[in-house]
Amino acid sequence: MKKRASAVALFCLWSSVARADERAALVPIAVGAGATSTLQRAFHREIISALLGAGFRLKSPNEVDLFVGDRPEFLACRDGACLYEEATFLGVRRLILPRFDRNPDDSYTIGVALYDANERRFIATSTLRCSECTVDRVKELIGMAAVRIRSESEEFDVAKTPATNAPASIATPTVTAPVPPRSPLLRPFKWATLGIGLATTVAGITLMSLNNLCLSDTPPKTAANPNPVCPIVLDGFGTGAPLFAVGGALLITSGVLFYFDRPPNKKALE
C-alpha cells in the first residue's frame, strides 16, 4: 500500500512540474496549539475560504496531503531550505504558511505568509493580533490577512515584470452597459404615423392651394347678371387647414417614436 501511494505521489509530482502549476499550496503544518477546539475548527474551516476569496488559486488540500504523506518531515517545516525542497516536491512555485498561536496574555496571533520558491524567501507576510477571539473574529482576521498577502504578492509580481521603454499602461476593464430592449410595437407604429402624417399633410396643403375653386359651370354673362358667380365653390382652406394640422401632429409624433426606437449608440455604451 505504501509503494502504491509513493507511485501515485511521484506521478502527481511529475504532472505538476510538467504543466508548470501556478497554484499555491497551503502547507499542512500544526497550528492553534493551546487554542480551544472551537477556535481551532473555525481557523481550519475558514483559512481555505479566505484564501480563495482573496483570489489565490490553491492546489487541492487532498493532493497536498497525499504528497506530504510520503514526506512527513515537511509537517514541521516552517522556514529555511526545507520550504524550497517542499515547494519543488509539491510542484508549485509558492507555499502559504498559516499561523494561529496563543500568546501568554491569552490573546492570539493570526496570520499567513507567502513563500516564493523562485526567490527562496517569503515575499508577503501578514500577522494580526486577536485580543478577544471569537469564531466571527477569527474569520474576519483570516480574511484580512489573506487579502493583505494577496495584495503584496501582486505588487511583487508587478515589480518583477520587466519594464519596457514605453510607460506601462494599466488596462481598465471595459464595462458594457446593458442594451435596453427595443419595443416591437414602436417600429410599425412609427412608420404608420409617418405615412399617415405625410399623406394628411400633403392633402391639407393641396386643399388649401385649391381654395375657392369652382366646382360647377359658371352661368354665362347676361345684361341682368354681368358678373356671374360660381354656384359651388370649394372651401379648401376650411378642410385643408385641419388636415394640415393633424398631419403635422402625426409627423411630430412619428419623430418622437423614431427617437425612442433608435439603435443604441455603441460609443455611449462603452
Q: What is the pLDDT of residues 217-249, one digit of tens each?
A: 777 777 777 777 787 878 878 888 898 899 889
Alpha helix (H) ranges present in 107-184?
135-160
**Angle 135-160/37-54 helices, nearest 10 degrees?**
30
Which pLDDT belongs to residue 260?
75
Residues 90, 21 contacting (CB under 8 angstroms): no
Which pLDDT belongs to residue 178?
59
* Range with the poorest average pLDDT among 30-34, 58-62, 94-98: 30-34
pTM of the model: 0.52
**CA–CA separation, 163 vs 180, rounded Å?**
43
Residues 153, 51 contacting (CB under 8 angstroms): no
Phi, psi of 94 (to 5 degrees): -130, 145
Please tell me what DSSP assigns to residue 227: S
* Strand partners of residue 96: 26, 114
Which pLDDT belongs to residue 96?
93
Of residues 116, 100, 126, 99, the one with CA closest to residue 24: 116
Residues 94, 114 contacting (CB under 8 angstroms): yes
Q: Give the chain's domains with CATH numbers.
A: 2-157 (3.40.50.10070), 186-218+227-269 (no CATH)
* Range with the poorest average pLDDT among 48-52, 99-103, 163-167: 163-167
Residues 133, 106 contacting (CB under 8 angstroms): no
| SS3 state of residue 107 | coil
Return the number of other C-beta atoms located less than 10 Å from residue 1's C-beta.
5
Average pLDDT score over the chain:
80
* SS3 of the chain: helix, strand, coil, percent, to 5: 50, 15, 35
66, pLDDT greater than 80: yes
Q: What is the pLDDT of residues 137-152, one digit of tens each?
A: 999 999 999 999 999 9
Which pLDDT belongs to residue 20?
42
Q: Pick the more confident residue, 255 or 216.
A: 255
Residues 200, 242 contacting (CB under 8 angstroms): no
